[in-house]
Structure 1
Amino acid sequence: MKSILLIKEIYLEGFKNLGHFITKNFFKGYAWVCFFLTAITIYAFIYRLATGFAFD
């Protein structure tokens, strides 16, 4: 639980006093897209490991 709160604090600190409204929203969206794509990649890798995919 402590690490989740730490990640939340890092996320909030990263966007505090960033500047222009459009820039701030762009980077927030970009961060969420990166988190989403990373989650999909990890899911696909674990799925391949679980189904016995041969990594040749």
Structure 2
Amino acid sequence: MSVDSSTPKAGDAGRETKRRIEALTDELAAPPFDALSPAELDELVAELEPITARLVAAGSQ
């Protein structure tokens, strides 16, 4: 049995689906952040850094 190399594989379809989902969630999440001033955004990042560090240390990505 030969497989045509131009035929998408299940892994390719999964990667494309993940890419589309990531792009859509980024797009949908942007408006609240876009409403923040640069100073407010800096403050938010500073407040979230300890939480992010704990999640990364626990193995979350």
TM-score bracket relative to the smaller structure: 0.3 to 0.5
- Normalized against structure 2, the TM-score is what? 0.44
The one of the two structures with greater contact order (alpha-carbon pairs below 8 A, sep at least 6) is 1
More helix by share: 1
